Amino acid sequence: MRKSLVLVAGLAILAFGAGCAKKTNPILPRKPVPAGTVEIQFTKTVQGPLDLTLDGTRIPVQQNSKKGGLRLIVSGLTPGKHRFVLISPLEAFGPDQGEWELQEGKGLFQVFFAQHFNATLYGKSEELPPAPGLPGVKARLEKK
């Protein structure tokens, strides 16, 4: 009887400790987004390659891992409105195009739906020319 009371008390303490643990919200950024930066959190891991067009200019997207990533960080943007298009031969995004409005001294965080699909391509795909990019604007796909 005594052992069962100790066991119940121990489980109650563990349950209380687990309930009071600090919870993180996966829809909010882990740290504040720096000024001039857009952080996109995908709902699933994106394998890439990604093709990002910003204000009519293709931006090269660096990808450190062959397994892909969950976050796309675009830095070096000026305040104001920027039109974007995000495409990939292996993923579909929602939204895949739109407009970002950056305010002075603030960054932007968005969550994008990502879905992987297996495309059947016949023949050899045509290689795209290297993306020219915009001065000072960098984009990278990160794991977490």
pLDDT tens digits, 97-112: 999 999 999 999 999 9
* CB distance 140 to 61 below 8 Å: yes
* Domain boundaries defined on the chain: 26-142
pTM over the 0.85 mark: no
Asked whether the CA dihedral 120, 57, 131, 73 is positive or negative, the reply is negative
Query: Three-state SS for 52?
Result: strand
Q: What CA–CA distance (Å, rounded) separates 32 from 55? A: 25
Q: Which of 34-38, 66-70, 138-142 has the lowest mean pLDDT?
A: 66-70
| Token pair recorded at residue 39 | 């952080």
* Number of residues that make up the chain: 144
Highest CATH level, class, for 26-142: mainly beta
Largest Cα separation within the chain, whole Å, is 76
Q: Given a cut of 70, is residue 116 above it in pLDDT?
A: yes
Q: What CA–CA distance (Å, rounded) separates 38 from 80? A: 12
The whole-angstrom distance between residue 134's C-alpha and the CA centroid of its chain comes to 21
Per-residue model confidence as pLDDT tens digits over 11-56: 566 556 555 655 555 678 888 999 999 999 999 999 888 999 999 9
pLDDT given for residue 26 in this prediction: 63
